[in-house]
Amino acid sequence: MLDVCLVGTGGMMPLPDRWLSSAVVRVSGQMALLDCGEGTQISLKMLGWGFKDISAVLISHFHADHVAGLVGLLLMIGNSYREEELTIYGPLGLQRVVDGLRTIAPELPFPVRCQELKGGETFHFAGIEGSCLMVDHAVSCLAYSVYVRRGRRFSAEKARALNIPVELWKTLQQEQPVEWQGRWYQPSDVLLEPRRGLKLCYITDTRPTSALPTFVRDSDLLVCEGMYGDPADHEKAVENKHLTFAEAAQIARRGKARELWLTHFSPSLMEPENYLEVARSIFQNTVVGRDRMCKTLSFGR
Amino acid sequence: MLDVCLVGTGGMMPLPDRWLSSAVVRVSGQMALLDCGEGTQISLKMLGWGFKDISAVLISHFHADHVAGLVGLLLMIGNSYREEELTIYGPLGLQRVVDGLRTIAPELPFPVRCQELKGGETFHFAGIEGSCLMVDHAVSCLAYSVYVRRGRRFSAEKARALNIPVELWKTLQQEQPVEWQGRWYQPSDVLLEPRRGLKLCYITDTRPTSALPTFVRDSDLLVCEGMYGDPADHEKAVENKHLTFAEAAQIARRGKARELWLTHFSPSLMEPENYLEVARSIFQNTVVGRDRMCKTLSFGR
């Protein structure tokens, strides 16, 4: 299972009921944030999922509406008595940005590690396999994919046929080899074919790129910026390196995502719902995001 | 007239309905902020006073709950098309802190000037005379006083007695000397005695000091931290270098302030109203602050 919640759905500048960019994912009690705009700690407090188990923060890029809430978040996590390391992922230059922001929070009760990414890397955190893709914005900006693996089903029939005692089954189920009467048994001897896991993609602050549909391929959920709803704003989107609703929907469609949540709305876009049909005419299963909108993605499909 | 509004009344960590430290004052359309915790730009947006006319930010000290909202605020002001210089005041080290935070906002459409203060200085901004006092916290921390001068009343009787033509009265009223038929007339020739202006003081993150009652002397409004309400928390206040409600009330009483607003409540203090009587038994005109509580102080007393 993977819980996801949009913490803030505003782009560039906040509105009273639409704060700046952030989303949170939770897998087996561990959490990771995708971006951390100003107000993230306040919205997370409203959400009530706690802070102690946030073990990673993935930053798309260093514009303030995506990162200015980082110091407040780290302090809030510190006040929740976390002692384990927290890893921040982001584009090259991350360490300099984190050091700059931490001028006002030099001391924390847990270690913070920065991992700078060029795009294309795979990395692991909070029971999740992450990957990233460099996109096309005014500054270096990464799209992220979050993948939760699904364990392979165990075949009791195969295990019995191999005379493997029941007390060793659990180890094999956990994909560890076991030895029994001088012979080694491999997980693949008793596990059925790999099963598809859960995939969530997060794309913000970019123009469409040719790599994006492949990157989001078969996502259970694509969280994607829709800075502009009105097709008449297409030129603004080109100029400011953002996506329109229609372009976000095209990425979802080409990548065969199952669902699209639009987020990161321009402050000038007061009623994103007014343009929902523009997106739905391209990709039917489109939803307009709002702050603290949540969903649980589950394996049982 | 001086309008004042508490933008955020939380100390250390925000609660869903109590954000981090900030207050705003407005005189003749010009605004200045006192502190700028995370979420300040969002709460100001809710308030609706606009951003373009914020010409000064006075920072008490560099703990994140008082300053982490600065970058978001500066960007919001930039987006309101301000081009005039904005001055940030704060303790020594201010320039380093502002430079660190501006790692994510290096470019703004208006100049930002930092003025570092040791305590004891007087300075002018937004039609206001500011002054500051070093207080007693874990790091260098300033209390601020904001004074709005009241113009002296013009005596038409005196002007007539001196045969000064009516068309020159306005200049004298504006406290400029004028020449008429080879003779210079001074404002003091036609203006009555000086009148008391409006004084607001802002004290946060300190233990009581001997200088504080004098600093707040005759304030129309004292905005003062009340981190702890319960008298049983006195030791915590000593240890963490904060004030209790009772100590804030004593400062107001000794300084003969007219009104006291408590703010900067500990996140553990869920219902500050429960301890209001503790403060009122010492200083009757005490009010528990809440986010976006506003008041207009006027000369007409």
> In chain A, what residues touch B12 (CB-CB under 8 Å)?
79
Q: What is the ipTM of this complex?
A: 0.88
One domain for residues A173 and A116: no
In B, what residues contact A, Cβ < 8 A?
Answer: 12-16, 19-20, 38-39, 41-42, 45-46, 62-65, 67-69, 71-72, 75-76, 79, 96-97, 99-105
Average pLDDT on B104-131 reads 96
What is the mean predicted confidence (pLDDT) over A236-259? 98
Q: Are residues B201 and B283 in the same domain?
A: yes
Q: Do A123 and A269 belong to one domain?
A: yes
- Higher-confidence residue of A7 and A300: namely A7
Residue A115 has pLDDT above 90, yes or no: yes
- Write down the pLDDT at residue A301: 54
Q: Which domain, by its residues, includes B169? A: 153-192
Residue B158, classified by CB atoms within 10 Å of its CB into exposed (0-12), middle (13-18) or buried (19+), is: middle
Tokens 């921390």 map to which residue? B141
Q: How many structural domains compose chain A?
A: 2
What mean pLDDT comes out for the span B144-160? 93
Residues A206 and A271 in one domain: yes
DSSP A66-120: HHTTHHHHHHHHHHTT--S-EEEEEETTHHHHHHHHGGG----SS-EEEEEE-SS
pLDDT, mean of residues B270-277: 97
- Label residue A174 by pLDDT band (50, 70, 90): confident
- Chain A residue at shortest CA distance from B41: A14
Nearest to A31 by CA among A10, A11, A49: A49
State CA B290 to chain mean position distance: 16
Residues A49 and A137 in one domain: yes
- Specify the pLDDT at position B301: 54
Query: Under DSSP, is residue A168 helix (H, G, I), strand (E, B) or coil?
Result: helix
Measuring CA to CA, which residue among A202, A176, A203 is closest to residue A189?
Answer: A176
CA distance B152 to B190: 10
Do A48 and A175 belong together in one domain?
Answer: no
What is the percent of chain A with per-residue pLDDT over 90, rounded to a whole number?
A: 92
Give B256-266 pLDDT, tens digit per residue: 999 999 999 99
In this predicted structure, what is the pLDDT of residue B174? Answer: 87
**Token pair of A129 as six digits:** 């396999």
Please provide the average confidence, as pLDDT, over all residues in chain A. Answer: 96
3-state secondary structure of B117: strand
Whether A277 and A210 share a structural domain: yes
- Chain A interface, best mutation among B13, B20, B76, B141, by max A CB count within 10 A: B13
Among A201, A215, A189, A221, CA closest to A286:
A221
Which tens digits make up the pLDDT trace of A279-289?
Answer: 999 999 999 99
- Computed over every residue of chain B, the mean pLDDT equals 96
Per-residue pLDDT of A95-112, as tens digits, reads 999 999 999 999 999 999
Mean pLDDT score, A135-142: 97
| Separation CA A265–CA A89 (nearest Å) | 24
Please compute the mean of the pLDDT values over residues A151-174 and round it to a whole number.
Answer: 91
* Radius of gyration of chain B from its Cα atoms, rounded to whole angstroms: 21
Q: Is the pLDDT of residue A209 over 60?
A: yes
User: Measured between alpha carbons, how far is A6 from A223 in angstroms, rounded to an integer?
Assistant: 9
Give all strands of the β-sheet with A30-34 in edge-to-edge order.
Answer: A112-117, A86-91, A54-58, A30-34, A22-27, A2-8, A294-297
Instruction: State which residue of chain A sits closest to B96, comparing Cα positions.
Output: A103
Check if A65 is active-site.
Answer: yes
Name the domain boundary from B133, B162, B192: B192
In this structure, the answer to whether residues B144 and B162 fall within a common structural domain is no
**What SS3 class is residue B257?**
coil
Record: contact A100-B105, CB cut-off 8 A:
no
**pLDDT score for A262:** 98
CB contacts of B19 in chain A (<8 Å) are: 42
Using the predicted structure, report yes or no on whether residue A34 has a pLDDT greater than 70.
yes
Both tokens of A147, joined, read: 């993948």
Considering B169, B192, B215, which residue would you say is the last residue of a domain?
B192
Q: What is the pTM of this model?
A: 0.91
Contact B72, B79 (CB under 8 A): no
Closest CA to A46 of A81, A64, A70, A22: A22
Each residue of B185-237: pLDDT tens digit?
999 999 999 899 999 999 999 999 999 999 999 999 999 999 999 999 999 99
Is A163 in the same domain as A81?
no
User: Could you tell me if B169 and B183 lie in one domain?
Assistant: yes
By a Cβ cutoff of 8 Å, what residues of chain A touch chain B?
12-16, 19-20, 38-39, 41-42, 45-46, 62-65, 67-69, 71-72, 75-76, 79, 96-97, 99-105
The residue whose two tokens read 């990771």 is A32
CATH of the domain at A125: 3.60.15.10
The helix or strand, by DSSP H or E, that contains position B44, with its residue range, turns out to be helix B40-47
**Cα–Cα distance between A206 and B288 in angstroms, integer?**
46
For A76, name the nearest residue in chain B, comparing CA atoms only: B13
Give the count of alpha carbons within 13 A of B291, CB side only: 21
Asked if residue A300 has pLDDT above 80, the reply is: no
Of B192, B212, B247, the residue at which a domain comes to its end is B192
User: Which of B39, B97, B105 has its CB closest to that of A64?
Assistant: B105
User: Are residue A139 and residue A187 in the same domain, yes or no?
Assistant: no
pLDDT, average across residues B117-130: 95
* Shared domain check, B267 and B234: yes
Instruction: Give the integer Cα–Cα distance in Å for B273 and B259.
Output: 16
Is the pLDDT score of B140 beyond 80? yes
As given in the structure block, the two tokens for residue B171 are 């200049």
Given a cut of 80, whether residue B89 has pLDDT beyond it is yes
Spatial distance between the Cα atoms of B244 and B278, rounded to a whole number of angstroms: 10
CB-count exposure of residue A91 (10 Å: 0-12, 13-18, 19+): buried
Strands B178-180, B183-185: parallel, antiparallel or unpaired by DSSP? antiparallel
| pLDDT (average), residues B8-35 | 96
